[in-house]
Amino acid sequence: MAKIDIFKLLIQDYWKNIQERNSLTGLSELHHWYDALIHFKNYAYERNITGAISRYRKIADLVLEPLKNRERWSANIEISIWDNFKNECSNENIKHNEQVDPLKPSVNNKKSLEKFVWDIKTGDNTTIAIWAFNMLNRNKLKEAHQQLKTVWGIGDKIASFYLRDIFWLGSNLSPSGSLVKIDNIHLIQPVDIWIERAAKAIGCEEKSKKEIAKYISSFEQKLGLRPGGGNIAFWMLGSNYVNDTVKFNNVISAINNQSDDSEKHATVIADYFVDYYGKFGKILKEILAKSHNVEQLDD
């Protein structure tokens, strides 16, 4: 096995244990529009400053419920949803940033999350999930990215996060050449602190998020990973396994063969994973041992 297998393991773990879906099934037909709305909502509420992501999502589920069987849009529905959301947050003593909340009513060129999805449903006669995948398939990634950012609270990172996962879900978790060539593919690279650290550890000297995203895309291509795969793996590694910066950098260096101490790090890190995650760690130890010519330990 090679280091690409480490990335594949992390990608597999992401779709098995982090995300609740493994395809666009259940999000594709027009009557699934509400399920696609809720799916999109979960990404939109990834952005918060209080650590109350799950509570925001549950409250949003509650206040969006009246839309489920609604046949006509009314401007009043946005106001009602917004007021109910604020009241529920107040009842649970949750503070939220109203300036960037996805349920904030539409004003000028900014839309509420539900209005954005409703307009796609009525205009394109499809769900937001299929709209996003079709935009990718028509080589309109940049346009899709820009349109998603018209929703309150959705910036570059969340737009890229959603589009990256739609890309994988729409390709049944194995994006292939069946899709047309996609320009601006770096736009499916959400850049957070772990991606910044990973990029630096593999040799990126750029500081801007755009250049970091391009660097990760180039890394994926050279390694033979499909677009967004390295991004998923790096995030999984940092956020779910090695949340210490020094250890994280050591892991990346060991995997990427860019450290003088990579052999030492390889065995230490493999042992760490065995203790932390059982079978995953044992497989990782085998990969690292072979990758760095370290004597393989008896599992």
Mean pLDDT, residues 116-122: 97
Q: What whole-number distance in Å separates Cα of residue 207 and Cα of residue 204? A: 8
Mean pLDDT, residues 226-231: 94
Per the domain annotation, does 177 fall within a domain? no
DSSP-assigned letters across all residues of 151-170: BTT--HHHHHHHHHHHHHHH
On average, the pLDDT of the chain sits at 85
| Predicted pLDDT at 298 | 37
Q: What whole-number distance in Å separates Cα of residue 134 and Cα of residue 123? A: 14
Split at pLDDT 50, 70, 90, the class of 294 is very low
Per the domain annotation, does 299 fall within a domain? no
Per the domain annotation, does 181 fall within a domain? no
Mean pLDDT, residues 152-174: 91
**C-alpha count within 13 angstroms, C-beta hemisphere, residue 196:** 10
- Domain closes at, from 120, 143, 172: 172
For residue 57, is pLDDT > 50?
yes
| Predicted pLDDT at 290 | 58
What percent of the chain is modeled with pLDDT above 70? 80
Count the domains in the chain.
Answer: 2
What percent of the chain is modeled with pLDDT above 90? 57
96 and 58 in a common domain: yes
Question: Could you list the residue range(s) of the whole structural domain that residue 253 is in?
Answer: 3-16+186-291
Per the domain annotation, does 154 fall within a domain? yes
| Predicted pLDDT at 291 | 54
Taking only the tens place, the pLDDT of each residue in 237-278 is: 888 877 788 888 877 877 776 555 555 655 665 666 665 555
Per the domain annotation, does 297 fall within a domain? no
Split at pLDDT 50, 70, 90, the class of 59 is very high
| Predicted pLDDT at 276 | 55
Q: Coil, strand, or helix at residue 225? A: coil
Mean pLDDT, residues 187-198: 96
Of 58-67, 133-142, 173-182, 228-237, the range with the lowest mean pLDDT is 173-182
274 and 255 in a common domain: yes
Mean pLDDT, residues 210-232: 94
Of the ranges 178-187, 274-283, 285-294, the best mean pLDDT one: 178-187
- The CA–CA distances, whole Å, from 68 to 34, 128, 232 equal 6, 15, 32
For residue 122, is pLDDT > 50?
yes
Q: Which residues have a Cβ under 8 Å from the Cβ of 83 and sit 6 or more positions away?
A: none
166 and 43 in a common domain: yes
Mean pLDDT, residues 176-194: 85
Pick from 166, 147, 145, 168: which is nearest to 157 by CA? 145
* Contact call for residues 194 and 239 (beta carbons, < 8 A): yes
| Predicted pLDDT at 283 | 62
153 and 52 in a common domain: yes
DSSP state of 16: I
- Identity of the amino acid at 178: S
| Predicted pLDDT at 99 | 85
For residue 280, is pLDDT > 50?
yes
147 and 250 in a common domain: no
143 and 113 in a common domain: yes
Q: What whole-number distance in Å separates Cα of residue 119 and Cα of residue 126? A: 10
Split at pLDDT 50, 70, 90, the class of 235 is very high
Read off the pTM: 0.88
| Predicted pLDDT at 136 | 94
* Contact call for residues 9 and 121 (beta carbons, < 8 A): no
8 and 42 in a common domain: no
| Predicted pLDDT at 20 | 83
206 and 139 in a common domain: no
Q: Coil, strand, or helix at residue 107? A: strand
DSSP state of 253: H
| Predicted pLDDT at 145 | 98
- Domain closes at, from 172, 203, 219: 172
197 and 125 in a common domain: no
| Predicted pLDDT at 209 | 97
| Predicted pLDDT at 297 | 37
246 and 118 in a common domain: no
208 and 82 in a common domain: no
